[in-house]
Structure 1
């Protein structure tokens, strides 16, 4: 009997992923259209996947507290694993993969588009092609913390800020390039600050478009540098990440608008780019210790 041909899994399509695992995810970022990345959180029973290729780089993070025993094949290599809480597996795009495990467990999966990784590499280093090495189960604290942060964003039930998701995606991609590429790539640790004119141009743009869902790519383009280096130099220049800075600007602007009693709160959150009034209230309370309504009442 001829051996079954490997399945091609379009990792960005849930219907295609169901060819290799049975359960639908509890959480997925698909509705939010995160740039270059899809995150899913699911519980899967004891299972054996067919041999398959993924069209995107795939990171699997074991989230259950209990370990599971698994047998995995990656690019012709086979290994018995103990997949413990916080461990990750890296399956690069177009690498033959097969796995079976002995008990159910929770998994955070992150699918990263190869084009997104290549774009970061092109912006940051002199390399036309980045190849990642397959990784059997082992702990990686940074990847685990990024996976948990993405999961918590989805659990919050609000559309996430593009700046925040961009920052996590860029950090993840840079880490993969530095640690798991076929050869060493130095992205550089830029020190110092953004030139004053470039910084002022970026700040002016932020203040002019606080109502928009800004991205790191937009701001980096204004500064005429890569997203990776822009994010680092921006924080060194302002003391805050782009995401934190924009949130701070929105909160300060909200305080000004709340002093105008005729302006409804239902309009204020839209003027400041928040997804909903509840999201605005939660963020405002987190930064000030008080709700927008109470803040306005205290100013009367």
Structure 2
């Protein structure tokens, strides 16, 4: 990030900051995120830093956490819970730290430009997580695995990292859905104890579906949240995600995006309004966000779409 002063921490001192405790005498990895990027993110707490070669003593985390190298080559040695691992993380490597983890010693060798990404699984960040929070904290425990290789988990982490880095242009619905999907995947694949969570087989009732679709159409221009959509259906957010996917064959975010693109196409065909006004009227965070979404879905930019309409 050009022009950015990496000599001082940029992470905010608000509740969005990570809660890990480390030896204050150890140099901190310079953050690559500014406060507006963190403030715009509506999921689990995250940190993205320039990975540096460092040796440190004990550090502790109250909540479970995930860590991965986004860019560059690194080699690490970690001693935790009496076990020591020595590894070079690959593209699908994720470190999974169990709740209330303790690391007694760490050494990292990192090439210049390496980047580290951390997600702290603190359910206070998801507020009304409801049954998902209970599932993860009461009935099942995440198994610590600092050298985990999991393509799906790494892909979810990269999606979150890209969204945070770009300032969360896809909004709260996308951010919260990503975080809940990450937690649900972890619970299903990397937890032990209690009963294994089963996949929700039900669907939205006709009334639930109508209420949700009416809300989307009525407030398409706004930054809709998963909380609001789930409330319209009278379901927890976790179950709403399952029920919606079972009912419509897509996620709530994908459905909302399809509706926004359809509405934008109508305005492009029937009006001469500026593109920036159309983007705002259909709920896109910016004109560039609308352009990217339309080109991905239709193969045409808004300008090309308008020029191709019948005269």
TM-score range, shorter chain: 0.7 to 0.9
Report deviation, 1:169: 0.6
Aligned to 2:79: 72
Alignment of 1:208 with 2:214, yes or no, is no
1:239 alignment partner in structure 2: 249
Report the more deviating stretch, 37-46 or 283-292: 37-46
Q: Give the aligned partner of residue 3 of structure 1.
A: none
**Residues paired across the two proteins, number:** 289
- Alignment of structure 1 residues 172-251 onto 2, 5 Å: 172-251=182-261
Of 13, 20, 29, 2:17 maps to: 13
Matched residues in 2 for 1:126 and 1:82: separation? Answer: 31
Q: Which residues in structure 2 correspond to 1:46-125 (within 5 Å)?
A: 46-64=53-71, 66=73, 68-73=75-80, 76-85=81-90, 86-104=92-110, 105-115=114-124, 120=129, 122=131
- CA RMSD in angstroms comes to 3.0
CA deviation map 1:100-129 (0-9, x unaligned): 224114322112214357954635867873
Equivalent positions of 1:100-179 (< 5 A) are 100-104=106-110, 105-115=114-124, 120=129, 122=131, 129=138, 131-156=141-166, 159-179=169-189
1:5 match: none
After TM superposition, give the deviation of residue 17 of structure 1 in Å. Answer: 7.0
Give the direction of change, closer, same or farther, for the CA distance of 1:117–1:211 in structure 2 (3 Å limit): closer
- Cα 1:84–1:147 change in 2 (3 A) is same
TM-score between the two structures when normalised by the length of structure 1: 0.83
CA distance, structure 1, for counterparts of residue 175 and residue 239 of structure 2: 16
Q: Give the match's secondary structure for 2:66.
A: strand
Aligned-partner SS, 1:258? helix
Moved more, 168-177 or 255-264: 255-264
Asked if the contact 2:261–2:294 (Cα under 8 Å) also holds between the matched residues in 1, the reply is yes
> In the superposition, relative to structure 1, how do residues 62 and 222 fare at CA in structure 2: closer, same or farther (>3 Å)?
same
Q: Distance in 2 between matches of 1:262 and 1:10?
A: 44
**Contact 1:71 1:81 (C-alpha < 8 Å) held by counterparts:** yes
**Is this contact kept in 2: 1:210–1:273, CA < 8 A?**
yes
Question: What do the CA deviations read for 1:11-67 (whole angstroms, capped 9, x no partner)?
Answer: 9426977846522233465131323x1233333222123312224322111345645
Whether contact under 8 Å (1:178, 1:184) holds in the other structure is: no
Shift of 1:97: 2.1
Q: Which runs of 5+ in 2 are unaligned?
A: 1-12
Whole-angstrom CA distance in 2 between matches of 1:152 and 1:41: 11
Q: Tell me, which stretches of 5 or more residues in structure 1 are unaligned?
A: 1-8
